[in-house]
């Protein structure tokens, strides 16, 4: 479905911009026939979506607009599928950089359709590093403050405490929390 939409995308955009309903109806029929010829399981899929919008109760112009909406709905579904594939390709590229493969190697895998490009992988790595730094900083700010408060309380509450006992106390308090 995705390839057919990409192939005819410019015609769909042109028909929407020009408001040519006859052309958009032809595109609907074209997509319907292409889907059914490429995948027999999709026979009637467009019609089911179209009929779910009660076209019989609407005038001709509204029915043409409904056909456009059905095509756009299918286009969006194809785009969602593409996002999932892109995510898998990015994960493969990330894994390959972890194994030590070169930039040219990752780009070769990308050209084969197996992985994302090196630049995409590099950008994802930068996002992961930034997110990790933020999570570490948040953890430290949340938990080190608690430890500092505990040490402050123990030192000022018990000024004559033996530091070996303090270390034991701190070790027990971190295990229990």
* pLDDT per residue as tens digits for the range 78-103: 766 666 667 778 888 998 898 899 99
Q: Which of 31-35, 102-106, 125-129, 156-160 is predicted with the least confidence, judged by mean pLDDT?
A: 156-160
pLDDT at 3: 60
pLDDT at 50: 83
Q: What is the three-state SS of the chain?
A: CHHHHHHHHHHHHHHHHHCCHHHHHHHHHHHHHHHHHHCHHHCCHHHHHHHCCCHHHCCHHHHHHHHHHHHHHHHHHHHHHHHHHHHHHHHHHHHHHHHCCCHHHHHHHHHCCCCCCHHHHHHHHHHHHHHHHHHHHHHHHHHHHHHHHHHHHHHHHCCCCCHHHHHHHHHHHHHHC
Mean pLDDT, the chain, whole residue set: 75
pLDDT at 49: 84
Residue 131 has pLDDT above 80, yes or no: yes
Residue 135 or residue 28, greater confidence: 135
pLDDT at 169: 56
User: What pTM did the predictor assign?
Assistant: 0.40
């Amino acid at each position: 479905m995705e390839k057919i939409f990409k192939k005819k995308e410019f015609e769909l955009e042109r028909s929407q911009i020009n408001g040519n309903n006859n052309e958009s109806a032809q595109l609907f029929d074209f997509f319907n026939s292409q889907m059914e010829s490429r995948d027999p399981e999709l026979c009637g899929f467009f019609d089911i979506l179209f009929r779910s919008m009660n076209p019989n109760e609407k005038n001709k112009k509204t029915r043409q607009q409904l056909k456009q909406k059905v095509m756009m709905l299918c286009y969006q579904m194809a785009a969602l599928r593409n996002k999932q594939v892109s995510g898998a390709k990015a994960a493969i590229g990330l894994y390959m950089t972890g194994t030590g493969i070169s930039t040219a190697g990752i780009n070769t895998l990308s050209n084969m359709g197996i992985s994302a490009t090196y630049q995409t992988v590099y950008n994802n790595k930068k996002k992961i590093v930034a997110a990790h730094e933020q999570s570490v900083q948040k953890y430290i700010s949340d938990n080190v403050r608690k430890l500092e408060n505990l040490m402050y309380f123990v030192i000022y509450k018990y000024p004559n405490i033996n530091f070996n006992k303090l270390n034991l106390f701190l070790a027990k308090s971190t295990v229990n929390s």
